[in-house]
Amino acid sequence: MNTFPQATSIDQVLRLIDENALAFVYISRKNCGVCHAVQPQVQEMLEEFPTIKPIQVSADDVPEVAGQFTVFTVPALLLFAEGKEVIREARFVVMDELHRKFQQVVENS
Name the pTM for this structure: 0.95
Average pLDDT over residues 77-91: 97
Kindly give, in sequence order, each residue whose CB lies less than 8 Å from that of residue 101, ignoring residues fewer than 6 positions away.
79, 87
For the 6-108 domain, the top CATH level (class) is alpha beta
Q: Dump pLDDT digits (tens) for 52-64.
A: 999 999 999 999 9
- The DSSP call for residue 101 is H
CA proximity to 94, closest of 44, 48, 38, 53: 38
Domain boundaries, the chain: 6-108
| pLDDT for position 88 | 97
**Residue 93 confidence class, pLDDT cut points 50, 70, 90:** very high
**Residue 92 confidence class, pLDDT cut points 50, 70, 90:** confident
